[in-house]
Structure formats: C-alpha cells, structure tokens
Structure 1
C-alpha cells in the first residue's frame, strides 16, 4: 500500500491512451510522469489528489499533473462506477503542445495541472461528450478531439484547484506510512467509533506523532476526516432512499441534530433537503 510508480505503456504510433479501468477494492496510491484526464461517474465518491481529500456527487472530471500522487477514484465504491481515463505521453506534450505558440492557453492549463484541477458545469458536459466521441475514432480524428478537449478546459472558468501547493512526488518520497492502512481502518470503522490511539498504534506512531502526520498529509484532523467520510457515506445512503434518521445512526453519528448540522456545514443543505432535491430531479428526468 506504499505509493507506487505506475508504468504506462502506449500503443505504437499513439500519443495517448483512452480506457476504462476498474480497480474497485484495490487501494492504488500511485503517480506517473504522464498527465492524466479522468472522468468518473458514480452516485458518490471520494477524490484524493495530492494532499486534497474531498467528496463528489454524481460525477467528476479531473486533470492531474505529472507525478502528482492520487488514489484510484473507484476505491471503496460499492455502487456502480464508470470511468474514462486519458493519459498523454510526455514527449507528445513536450514536442507538440509546449513548443507550439497557438497552444499557449493549453500550455498554461497543463502547467497548472500539478495542483489537480476539477471541472464542473457545461465544461464537464462538453469535455465528456468529446471523450466519448473520440473513443472509437481513428488516430488523427481522436488527436484533434483531444486538442479540442484541452482547449475547452483551458478556456473554462468552471474549474477548482484541489491543492494550493506543489504536491508532486518529491514531497511524498520520504513518506514511510502506509496511507492505505489508514483508509482501510476508517472504511471498516467509520460507522462505529474510530479511535485515533488505535490507528496510531497500527501504523507504529505515537498518538501525537500520528496526529501531526495526518494533519500534514490531509490538511484535516483525524476527527474531521472521519466526519467528512461519514457525510460522504451518508449521501450514498440518502440517494438509496434511506430515512434521515436511519442514515444518521448507520454512518456512526449518535446525535441527529449534530448530523444535520454537520451535513449542512459540508453541503449547504440539510440531509432532508439534499434527499428531496435529488428525488425531485429524478422525477423530472
């Protein structure tokens, strides 16, 4: 579960690859020199890119820079999950994009990608349509399609930077703690009472040292992370039409009022409002 360098192989005479991976219960905390565009569609998921750990609902479109550590986006998801992953050769970017003045906007986009970029709204819709369109096209048409996708992303204001500092692999090389162990512990215990002393012992750290390490890695305290994980899981259960009260206790909260308060802090709406809005949208489709 230590961080791994992924070795990406490309077909001959291909500058990029587009495929649909499925890892599910595999914890693949990895990096690679190739820049990657990822589209993931599922009811609810968690993204971990660099130091950022956050949730998304329905779908996400991410541009992940060279050598930025990230977790596979279907890790731990028990519901249906579809992915499209596009990986670009290093020399393709160097030889074509970075050396061509007409691609200056795309060049700036790729230079920012080390922060991890999440796209939303019309940008996501258009980019995903083109991703699906180029899947079965010949090499030339798919290349033109990729350039168009990058131009759409480069001109978009519907984008969120996931990190506010450089998190490329140099930052992580001295990390000897297995983040996978921590993920698994939280996943198995979020509905009970995750104990910071217990997980600190599992990863061979004192409790104060673990708390410092965890805050440095995630920009969150252990308690905040567990609550964030619970809220993400709660959304999945709400989308399955469980009652708010059942979901509250099912994800490990002991107080309904605290659950409602925390849910609203995270999503700007109560669990009831979240559920009502979702099922109202379903009726209109």
Structure 2
C-alpha cells in the first residue's frame, strides 16, 4: 500500500485473526518537496506521490519485488536505507496497470487545497511583516520547506505572478492607504519599502493608471 498524507484509514491489520507481519515506513510531510520535487530525475516518483493521495494498492510481481526490498532495508544505515526507499518508489512508479489499484475513486484533492492554504498563509504573513523591508525569496522558501527554484514555480502557479511582482503589488496597495491618509508620495515611497521615488512613481502609474500625486489629489476632490 502507498497512502498519501492526511488520508483517513484503518490500520491494515483491522479484522485479521491470523499471525502476520507488517513493515511500515513513514515519511515526513516535506519529504517530497525537499528531495524529489526539485529534481528532474525523480519525475516518475513525483508522479507516483501525486497519485498517492487517493491511496494505492500493489499486486503481482511489483508487490513481490517491493516486499523483498522492504525486508532488506537496513535502518541502522540511514543513507543505504534512503537509497533503498528511492529504489522501492521507483519500482512502484513503474507498476503495470494490472498490478496497481486506486483505493479511493473520489477526488480527495481537498487535502492539497488545505496544504496550499496553510502554505500560502505562511507566505502572506511573511510578506505582511516584511514588505516595507526587503523580503528575501530564499528565506520564505525555507519557511515553507521548498527550494528557491521550487518555491518560485509554486508561487507563480498559485498567484500567476512572480514573488517580486506580488510584493510590489502589496506595497502599492498599502501605498494607496497612506496616500489617502494625506502623506506625500516621497514619504510613502520609502515607508512601503521602495528605494527609488522615480521607480515608485512609474510603477504606481503603470498599475493604478495615475501617478501617486494625481491619485492623492483626486481623493481630496472626491471627499
């Protein structure tokens, strides 16, 4: 069996009345992101893990080969055990269609949505706390247990923009609030984290449609 994280299930000895032996291997939740996701050579294993959220059962030759390798794992030598696990995952990823069964036909992708909400919440909190300084993509990538490259791909997929563009959008949103409070464009520029007034003015006009000064005057006229 290969069961993805956060999938409700009974112990597999439930209801058994005969003697049996189990070999259980548990992986940390970030195993996939930190070891497999950033590496192209692990593409087949990555696809296997993506399918595992429905639960997978294996039979036939695949099952026999994997059971043999599980029995041979020597947990007293962690490096060798890790290599053995990777070999096992590679074997499972290559199982013939008749040797693998999907245990849950329903789409339980809500688990992934929950993980994304938690991860994106961490990212939003970090941006909120650091937008007026110099947010470090390497630092936030570490906080959500991704390599920098994997984080950039993940963030672009989730938000349709780069991390830098998102931070600048967040800065501009806060800049509007400060401008509406009566502060000048020069004051607001540095307060929200920009280092160049000219760049702040250009970016603000590009995104908002008017310069900070015009935006501020327009608000005064309307109120």
Normalising by structure 1, report the TM-score. 0.39
Please state which structure has a larger fraction of its residues in helix. Answer: 2
Please state which structure has a larger fraction of its residues in strand. Answer: 1
Flag the structure with larger Rg: 2
Normalising by structure 2, report the TM-score. 0.49
